[in-house]
Amino acid sequence: MCGITAYIGPRNAYPIVINGLKRLEYRGYDSAGIMLFDGQGLQLSKTKGKVSDLEEITNNDEKRKNGNIGIGHTRWATHGVPNDTNSHPHVSNSGELVIVHNGIIENYDTIKKELIKRGYTFKSDTDTEVLVNLIQEVKKNEGCKLGKAVQLALNSVIGAYAIAVFDKAKPDELIVARLGSPIAIGIGENNSEFFIASDASPFVEYTKNAVYLEDEELAIIKLGREVRVRRIHNDELIKASVQKLQLSLEEIEKGGYDHFMLKEIHEQPKAITDTFRGRLLVEQNFIKLLGIDSYREKFLNANRVIIVACGTSWHAGLVGEYLLEDMARIPVEVEYASEFRYRNPVITENDVIIAISQSGETADTLAAIKLAKERGAFVYGICNVVGSSIARETHTGTYTHAGPEIGVASTKAFTTQITVLTLMALKLGREKGTIPEKEFVKYLNAMDRIPQQVEKLLEIDEHVKYIASVYKDATNCLYLGRGFNFPVALEGALKLKEISYIHAEGYPAAEMKHGPIALIDENMPTFVIATKHGHYEKVVSNIQEIKSRSGKIIAIVTEGDITVKEIADHCIEIPETEEALTPLLTTIPLQLLSYHIAVMLGKNVDQPRNLAKSVTVE
Ligand code: F6R
């Protein structure tokens, strides 16, 4: 949570930092701030609200936009409500040190009390203001340089952080450090300028060379010199490894769409194709997944698979459970990472843990991985963000290659996660001999058709928009599905809740009569996934039960369906495919539906209230 960015070099820092913050707003957007240094004094501007609100303050004031050094922050509040004072950057009591911070300092209260005894005063309620004053105190007491003072201060804090610190007395230098929250350093030609950010998106147009800090690392960034990286706890000097960025500017812009979410929904045919690339080899009748190939025995001898994830990724994990059990006959458990990490789970060396995460930075998922590794399990990651903490922490894994997902509501990340899980289940099923050869070939061909089918499905946008206009004023909605589509019902409900703030619940269709049916009346729309497969007749009966209680039915059906069409109020058709692959299609109309309802209700689709794209705190 929270985005941090900074610049030091010959250019005016203001536009770089402000544009960088806009790209990082997916990480938090309840307040924003910027500090510029023009060689004379600090210019601090901060406000509750979005980066656009910050721009309003600075726009007509040239003084606030001057300087070749700038640090900025976009916040998702943890300690202290979102207001101007609690916004970052924070300045130390001496007025010399400035900090931006992403994370939580858990023992801030104890440190604060100690600093107050020593005469420090605090303006804000934040843990960050405590940290910057602690650094000041250490610097004063030890008489050391800023880098050393930051390192010593961090050794006495408990918590998670990505920080950037500036000292007025050393205007050619910035100190950054990370533990649990990401930091990327963009490096200009001959070290003539540096860019710092929570991810590389703020500086992609300026440099392709970046250093990603690892946990427990601190970097001293000084103009004209190579970045120096040290391990925080033992002062070990580390060789900074410079990576070439693959990210392009087009990928992180809206490309003509009104919202990132809509763009990302429409990107799914390409995203799924990219997930397949080099892996789904239809001609060779083969699925190539290096992560599995290199650890084949681990998978083949696994007693069980435990999938850990949060939110939408957890829903993808549920689809994975159905796929892996059905195709590869491996017992699977799907766990909320937040529960798993604290409930003293039984984990053995014969367990395979699959951690799923779009961002690769989710704190609970990361902690679940660490726990599983400590207990000897083998951990496989399914991540979107290349080089993210989870990607690095796992033994091996598969990238989804969905491209940057910026809309807070996850869309293409979900379908590409399911794509990877399907490839894994098919591959393991074949290696274990639990899928007959003929079936395998059938699946491969059906998978190959999915991107075109998604493309075709996206053409129903106007029809879905119409349905959205009919139900946009509902206050409660039910989502039902069975089998592979039960998790899709959960995901459909989550999508609606998070961007339109309409209460929605997902249920396995047959569970309806054990409770939720009491909610049904003429005001309650139920979205039912009723494709023509295994449980079709049973779902049709559920639909009838709802209709006979005056409920409204919006059904997702297979092309050419007649039965449901006669009963439902509205139908949305999806192309024919194998039952196990239907989640890749049934998800699409539910995403569009949530999107249109949220737009019609005037909600901020890409930045829904109280949420952030990457949840790096507990
Ligand atoms: C919902 C959503 C969240 C994330 C969850 C996990 O649209 O985006 O529920 O799925 O916070 O995030 P990752 O996948 O980054 O670990």
- CATH of residue 360's domain is 3.40.50.10490
Mean pLDDT value of segment 89-96: 97
| 395 & 509 share domain | no
Instruction: Report the CATH number at residue 30.
Output: 3.60.20.10
Q: What is the pLDDT of residue 329?
A: 96
**CA 77 to ligand 1 centroid distance, Å:** 18
Closest residue by CA, ligand 1 atom 11: 311
Give pLDDT, residue 613: 77
Residue 378's pLDDT is: 96
Is 264 among the domain residues? Answer: yes
- Inside any domain, residue 315: yes
Mutate to test the pocket of ligand 1, among 198, 314, 362 (most ligand atoms within 8 A of CB): 362
Range 526-554 average pLDDT: 93
Spatial distance between the Cα atoms of 74 and 65, rounded to a whole number of angstroms: 17
Residues 493 and 465 grouped into a single domain: yes
Residues 446 and 464 in one domain: no
pLDDT of residue 512: 87
Catalytic site residue from 2, 310, 383, 571: 2
Same structural domain, 44 and 76: yes
What separation in Å is there between the alpha carbon of 309 and the centre of ligand 1?
Answer: 8
Mean pLDDT, to the nearest integer, of 447-468? 97
In a domain, 485, yes or no: yes
Please, are residues 352 and 376 in contact by the beta-carbon 8 Å criterion? no
Long-range CB contacts (within 8 A, 24+) of 178-181:
178/213, 178/214, 178/215, 178/216, 178/217, 179/103, 179/154, 179/215, 179/216, 179/232, 180/103, 180/215, 180/363, 180/366, 180/389, 180/616, 181/2, 181/102, 181/103, 181/361, 181/616
Residues 195 and 331 in one domain: no
Please tell me the distance between residue 495's alpha carbon and the centre of ligand 1 in angstroms. 11
Distance 249 CA to ligand 1 centre (A): 23
Residue 615 belongs to some domain of the structure: no
Q: Tell me, in angstroms, the distance from the centre of ligand 1 to residue 204's CA.
A: 24
Residue 471 in any domain: the answer is yes
Give the rounded percent of residues in the chain with a pLDDT score beyond 70: 100
Look at residues 359, 363, 328, 591 and name the one whose alpha carbon lies nearest to residue 457: 591
d(CA 74, CA 201): 14
Whether 431 and 509 map to the same domain: the answer is: no
Residue 516 and residue 389 in one domain: no
Q: Are residues 231 and 144 in the same domain?
A: yes
| pLDDT at position 611 | 84
Average pLDDT, the chain: 94
Helix H or strand E encompassing 477: strand 476-481
Residue 416 has pLDDT above 80, yes or no: yes
The radius of gyration of the chain's CA atoms, rounded to the nearest angstrom, is 26
Query: Which residue of 340, 359, 499 sits with most ligand 1 atoms within 8 Å of its CB, as the best mutation to test the pocket?
Result: 359
In the block, residue with structure tokens 């924003």: 32
Would you say residue 1 has pLDDT above 80?
Answer: no
Q: Is 610 among the domain residues?
A: no
- Supply the residue whose CA is at minimum distance from atom 5 of ligand 1: 311
Task: With cut-offs at 50, 70 and 90, classify the pLDDT of residue 60.
Answer: confident
Among the listed ranges 118-122, 500-504, 525-529, 545-549, which one has the minimum average pLDDT value?
Answer: 545-549
Domain match, 347 and 227 both:
no
* 289 in a structural domain: yes
Task: Please indicate, yes or no, if residue 618 is contained in any of the structural domains.
Answer: no
CA of 413 to the centre of ligand 1 (A): 9
Picking from 231, 251, 271, the residue at the C-terminal end of a domain is: 251
Catalytic site includes residue 2:
yes
Claim to verify: residue 246 and residue 258 sit in the same structural domain: no
Domain count of the fold of the chain: 3
Selecting among 65, 112, 222, 613, the annotated active-site residue is: 613
Residue 254 pLDDT = 86
Backbone dihedral angles phi then psi of residue 510, each to the nearest 5 degrees? -70, -20
| Whether residue 211 sits in one domain with residue 107 | yes
464 and 445 in a common domain: no
Range of the domain at 381: 254-455
Ligand 1, residues at Cβ distance < 6 Å: 310-313, 357-359, 362, 365, 409-410, 494, 498, 614-615
Last residue of a domain, one of 207, 227, 251: 251
- CA-nearest residue, atom 9 of ligand 1: 311
Among 455, 485, 511, the domain-final residue is 455
Q: What is the pLDDT of residue 96?
A: 96
Residue 246 has pLDDT above 90, yes or no: no
Determine the atom of ligand 1 nearest the C-alpha atom of 613.
8
| Interval 7-39: pLDDT, tens | 999 999 999 999 999 999 888 889 999 999 999
Closest atom of ligand 1 to CA, residue 362: 16
